[in-house]
Amino acid sequence: MAKVKMTVNGRQVGSDCEDRTLLVHFLRDNLALTGTHVGCDTTQCGACVVHMDGRSVKSCTILAAQAAGSTITTIEGLAANGELHPVQAAFKANHGLQCGFCTPGMVMTAVDMIRRHGANLDEATVRAELDGNICRCTGYHNIVKSILAAAAEMAGAQQAAE
Amino acid sequence: MGVEGIGASVARKEDKRFLTGKGRYTDDMSVPGMKYAFFVRSPYAHAKIKSIDMSAAKDMPGVIGILEGKQLQADAIGNIICGWMIHSKDGSPMNMGVWRPLAHETVRYVGDAVAIVVADSLGEARDAAEAVVVDYDVLPAVTEAVKALEAGQPQLHPEAPNNLIFDWQIGDGAATDKAIAEAAHVTEITLRNNRLAPNPMEPRATLGIYDSAEDHYTCYTTSQNPHVARLVMSAFYNVAPENKLRVIAPDVGGGFGSKIYIYPEEIVCLWASKKTGVPVKWTCDRTEAFLTDAHGRDHVSTVKMAFDKDNRIIGLKVDTIANLGAYMSLFSSAVPTYLYATLLSGQYAIPAIHANVRTVYTNTVPVDAYRGAGRPEATYLLERTMETAARELGVSPAELRRQNFVRTFPYQTPVIMNYDAGDYEASLEAAMASADWNGFAARKAEAARRGKKRGIGMSCYIEACGIAPSAAVGSLGAGVGLWESAEVRVNAVGTIEVMTGSHSHGQGHETTFAQLVADRLGVPIDSVNIVHGDTDKVQMGMGTYGSRSGAVGMSAVVKALDKVEAKAKKIAAHLMEADESDIVIENGELKVAGTDKTLPWFQVALAAYTAHNLPAGMEPGLKEGAFYDPSNFTFPAGCYICEVEVDPETGVTDIIQFVAADDFGNIINPMIVEGQVHGGIAQGIGQALLENVHYDPQNGQLITASYMDYAMPRADDLPSFKLSHQNTPCPSNPLGIKGCGEAGAIGSPPALMNAITDAIGNNSLTMPATPQKVWAALNAAN
């Protein structure tokens, strides 16, 4: 048992956990942030993706202790002031989700993907980048569409701001 | 159609909670004092249990209790049953073996549950489970159905000699044999329908809570049909009477059939909660899901299709062996019989059909319905056979199909089904136009110049959905009726709650069912809440599977809305001093036709509840319920075309385009319907190209028990899809809906296999068409 401290969704948190506790279980069980999901045991499905210090990581493959002192953003921390993030809004507008279970990981992966590629994203790149996120409901068709729509929307917004 | 009514692609009401991490799935549930369960499972495919030693485990840190099967049996918890009786052709009932929720005599597949450990943390439960010592006497195992029927093989259940569960037939054997004998041409083919793991992304989970003060149980569970779970656990498993058992299926992360059944874990966690005095939560990990979720498909079939000299089909004979695994799951007997062989006429007028089906026990996890359930197996047989026949006869595959289409409705097949409406040629034409079928030869030549093998294939599917007329399925052996129930509760302020026995686990009922209400009453969908998944809130229901929520579930809502509207009109007529027959409901108002007299919807609702001025003798309130029992199945149909390019150097298949042309009857929300088709096609492509459950045939170990070993379709395995609809309304239900949930998984595997075999010039190819198999088949052909 050790007390692990980190910043999660802008809030400083600390909680006792077993040494073997994975970050995903720390978020779910200790902080009651159940939006981050566990869909496999082998770092394949990506339902657990969160951002650690601004980069996407699979929270099932990192110990809570390893994340001590870092800044974590989960799906619960993405929408600001009750407004959906443009990626969340694009998933809704384009029916990029069905059962919703893989969705938090998909959205967090997409946000990071758009951060890295910006408006240069094309369908082939999105499909290749989604290799670590499995969805069983959508056939990915509308997820790809959602991410491309969000990338275009965010690039447009950025251009307008400049 | 209004902007939110029937036919509008309304964005989903439920999305916000899923997109912001506020979905509430079973594993997200937490109650005071809750503890964690881990199951001790058999590492062997077949063994006698000699002893179970818990002495070391029970003193481990955090352990609250360890329970085994003997205790379960002593407490009179029942064995797990199959709910659909099938009789063999000699009249004898199916040979159902015993399935104990916790095995204490014999284990029959790797993963069979033996004991449950309850501890303070999941880690401690897992540690203690590893310290439970089960002494096994290992027996030989058999995993393949064809082999399990042979002499001298391991025997699974004393009730089923030679592992045969039943030997069933349908159709006219003599007439079919005669057609084959007299045929100008007979196409014969043997096909394997590969075994699949359904893999909803949310693993199964359950939380059992026993309240000793009330002697009452609550079961949170990942179920597609919570009322059926309650019924079965009460009536057959003796967990608790229905009034003492509440089953809640909250947000459920996909099902695809695998969450229809009542598994050992729900039963055992409820019982364990009473035994240990704490709420008990169990969540499956992914390897456990591969080991214990019911699998799908796993047929081996031989087909003979007979043609006359004009290439008309005159007979079809099918012999199928279906693997049902180690135990009979809830609907397992119906899948390879009434959900399969009744669809063997496909879209074609075939005067004589005969099918024989033998189902077999093996040392593998039970097999039951997976998306499509029997219909993909029937479609795969027919459509690969049609393609093979076209090649043998030297005619175009489209022409051979066209020539044999059913063209007049209703059409009675020789295998029970009565097709009520459809236009198969319309979908065929639409698909061919969308795929530019006529331009294929040029594309093939261009690909050949790049050293690639290009192929094209089609598949024309039909399915029976809207499951199902209760009397009909009852006469065929079903233990339940397959109606649906609904309740429409208008609140005093005019907002509306619809309680439905259908269950949404990704299908978007909270939106589509609200669209129906909005369409009828002209109220905004935000004023309509859809309530489902809780036996305390919804009176009764049969759940969601077999593409039945729209055709059956929404029809029940229509019936309840009819009653609500009739009462609201009576109240409005009374208040406006008009004749009831002159009242119309439009845009959220009740109007006297031809006058300017109107009353807003909420005011009529309020009047119903204040009851100050109601028609003489009328009860207060505005709440009506209904049960809807369909009069027929529905028959979605369509044509899928796939074009591929095979790299002869590597055997890798690249899907160039995938076209779907479907007839789903009337559509509530096109965006959601298209999403269902996308997902279905992806699962069908997965079956044809990637997915396969593989058990080691020597020892019964599951080789494909993780996402490292079982090839789930990923985004870069798939193309974007081209969809269109050629809808003919269904005549048997009030909304004209046929259902769309399974079509994609049914129609796509043969289209893809027909395309690959066309590309490589070798028809001897089994699913999944992995690069290794394709490369070998290509080289064998050359």
Three-state DSSP at B599 gives: strand
**Sheet harboring B47-53: ordered strands across?**
B106-107, B47-53, B133-138
Sequence-ordered alpha helix ranges (H) in A3-140: 23-25, 86-93, 103-117, 123-129
Using the beta-carbon criterion (under 8 Å), do B19 and A95 form an inter-chain contact? no
In our burial notation (b when 16+ CB lie closer than 10 A, e otherwise), range A67-76 reads: beebebbbbb
B407 touching A (Cβ < 8 Å): no
DSSP for residue B690: I
Mean pLDDT of A68-86: 96
pLDDT for A161: 82
B97 touching A (Cβ < 8 Å): no
Chain A's closest residue to B18, CA to CA, is: A100
Residues of A in contact with B30 (CB under 8 A): 32
Using the beta-carbon criterion (under 8 Å), do A92 and B19 form an inter-chain contact? yes
Alpha-carbon distance of B7 to B284, in angstroms, equals 39
Q: In Å, how far are B385, B428, B557, B744 from B314, measured between CA atoms?
A: 14, 22, 43, 29
Three-state DSSP at B327 gives: coil
Chain A's closest residue to B722, CA to CA, is: A141
B718 touching A (Cβ < 8 Å): yes
Using the beta-carbon criterion (under 8 Å), do A137 and B28 form an inter-chain contact? no
- Asked if residue B424 lies in contact with residue B639, where contact means CB atoms within 8 angstroms, the answer is yes
Residues of A in contact with B672 (CB under 8 A): 95
Alpha-carbon distance of B750 to B642, in angstroms, equals 9
Q: To the nearest whole angstrom, how far is the Cα of A106 from the nearest Cα of chain B?
A: 10
- Asked if residue B296 lies in contact with residue B257, where contact means CB atoms within 8 angstroms, the answer is yes
Q: 3-state secondary structure string, B66-87? A: EEEHHHHHHCCCCCCCCCECCE
Using the beta-carbon criterion (under 8 Å), do B674 and A135 form an inter-chain contact? no
Cβ-based neighbour number of residue B446 at 10 Å: 11
Q: Which amino acid is at B34?
A: M
CA torsion, ordered B108, B114, B120, B126, to nearest 10 deg: -50
Using the beta-carbon criterion (under 8 Å), do B286 and A95 form an inter-chain contact? no
pLDDT for B2: 67
**Helices first, then strands: H and E counts in chain B:** 19, 28
List Cβ neighbours of A157 (8 Å cut-off, separation of 6 or more): A86
Alpha-carbon distance of B484 to B498, in angstroms, equals 13
Cα angle for residues B656, B660, B662 (degrees, 5° grid): 175
Chain B's closest residue to A132, CA to CA, is: B714
pLDDT for B429: 98
A42 touching B (Cβ < 8 Å): yes
Sequence-ordered alpha helix ranges (H) in A42-120: 86-93, 103-117
A75 touching B (Cβ < 8 Å): yes
Using the beta-carbon criterion (under 8 Å), do B716 and A18 form an inter-chain contact? no
Alpha-carbon distance of A150 to A113, in angstroms, equals 11
pLDDT for A1: 84
Strand partners, B419: B411
Q: B14 φ, ψ to 5°?
A: -80, -10
B20 touching A (Cβ < 8 Å): yes
**Per-window interface: B 626-655 vs A, CB < 8 A:** none
Using the beta-carbon criterion (under 8 Å), do B202 and A140 form an inter-chain contact? no
Alpha-carbon distance of B343 to B345, in angstroms, equals 5
pLDDT for A40: 97
Residue whose entry in the numeric block shows the structure tokens 């970050």: A23
Q: 3-state secondary structure string, A142-158? A: HHHHHHHHHHHHHHHHH
In our burial notation (b when 16+ CB lie closer than 10 A, e otherwise), range B557-583 reads: bbbbbeebbebbbbbbbbbbebeeebb
Question: Mind listing the domains of chain A with CATH numbers?
Answer: 2-77 (3.10.20.30), 86-161 (1.10.150.120)
Q: Which amino acid is at B53?
A: D
Three-state DSSP at B765 gives: coil
Confidence band, pLDDT 50/70/90 cuts, at residue A156: confident
Chain A's closest residue to B29, CA to CA, is: A34
Instruction: Establish how many alpha carbons lie within 13 A of residue B201's alpha carbon, considering only the half-sphere containing its beta carbon.
Output: 35
- Asked if residue B427 lies in contact with residue B662, where contact means CB atoms within 8 angstroms, the answer is yes
pTM over 0.95: yes
Q: Which amino acid is at B449?
A: R
B706 touching A (Cβ < 8 Å): yes
Three-state DSSP at B275 gives: helix
Strand partners, A36: none
Question: Mind listing the domains of chain B with CATH numbers?
Answer: 31-139+202-253+259-292 (3.90.1170.50), 141-194+295-406 (3.30.365.10), 420-463+635-782 (3.30.365.10), 483-628 (3.30.365.10)
DSSP for residue B150: S
**Per-window interface: B 483-542 vs A, CB < 8 A:** 505-508
Using the beta-carbon criterion (under 8 Å), do B201 and A33 form an inter-chain contact? no
Using the beta-carbon criterion (under 8 Å), do B744 and A78 form an inter-chain contact? no
Alpha-carbon distance of B224 to B208, in angstroms, equals 17
- Nearest CA to B540 out of B190, B225, B158 is that of B225
Question: Which residue from B19, B200, B706 is facing A103, i.e. has the nearest CB?
Answer: B19
List Cβ neighbours of B779 (8 Å cut-off, separation of 6 or more): none
A58 touching B (Cβ < 8 Å): no
Residues of B in contact with A60 (CB under 8 A): none
Mutate which of A75, A97, A99 to disrupt the B interface (most B C-beta within 10 Å)? A99
pLDDT for A159: 83
B459 touching A (Cβ < 8 Å): no
- Asked if residue B13 lies in contact with residue B510, where contact means CB atoms within 8 angstroms, the answer is yes
pLDDT for B1: 47
**Per-window interface: A 81-120 vs B, CB < 8 A:** 84, 88, 91-93, 95, 97-104, 107
Using the beta-carbon criterion (under 8 Å), do A36 and B202 form an inter-chain contact? no
CA Rg value for chain A: 16
Residues of A in contact with B203 (CB under 8 A): 38-39
Using the beta-carbon criterion (under 8 Å), do A137 and B286 form an inter-chain contact? no
- Cα dihedral sign, B607-B608-B614-B620: negative
State ipTM.
Answer: 0.98
B121 touching A (Cβ < 8 Å): yes
> What token pair was written down for B167?
């030997």
Using the beta-carbon criterion (under 8 Å), do B201 and A135 form an inter-chain contact? yes
- For residue B468, is the peptide bond before it cis, meaning its omega torsion is within 30 degrees of 0? yes
Mutate which of A18, A27, A127, A136 to disrupt the B interface (most B C-beta within 10 Å)? A136
Q: How many CB pairs under 8 A join A and B?
A: 182
Residue whose entry in the numeric block shows the structure tokens 């209004």: B2
Note the Cα A58 to chain centre separation in Å. 9
B712 touching A (Cβ < 8 Å): yes
- Strand pairing category for B496-500 and B313-325: unpaired
Q: In Å, how far are A67, B205, B268, B299 from B275, measured between CA atoms?
A: 39, 19, 10, 41
Point out the residues of chain B with pLDDT beneath 70.
Answer: 1-2
Using the beta-carbon criterion (under 8 Å), do A136 and B681 form an inter-chain contact? no
Mutate which of A24, A107, A141, A144 to disrupt the B interface (most B C-beta within 10 Å)? A141
Using the beta-carbon criterion (under 8 Å), do B286 and A34 form an inter-chain contact? no
Using the beta-carbon criterion (under 8 Å), do A127 and B716 form an inter-chain contact? yes
Confidence band, pLDDT 50/70/90 cuts, at residue A119: confident
Sequence-ordered alpha helix ranges (H) in B58-172: 69-74, 122-131, 145-148
A122 touching B (Cβ < 8 Å): no
- Nearest CA to B418 out of B372, B386, B377, B466 is that of B466
Instruction: Establish how many alpha carbons lie within 13 A of residue B233's alpha carbon, considering only the half-sphere containing its beta carbon.
Output: 33
Alpha-carbon distance of B138 to B141, in angstroms, equals 9
B32 touching A (Cβ < 8 Å): no
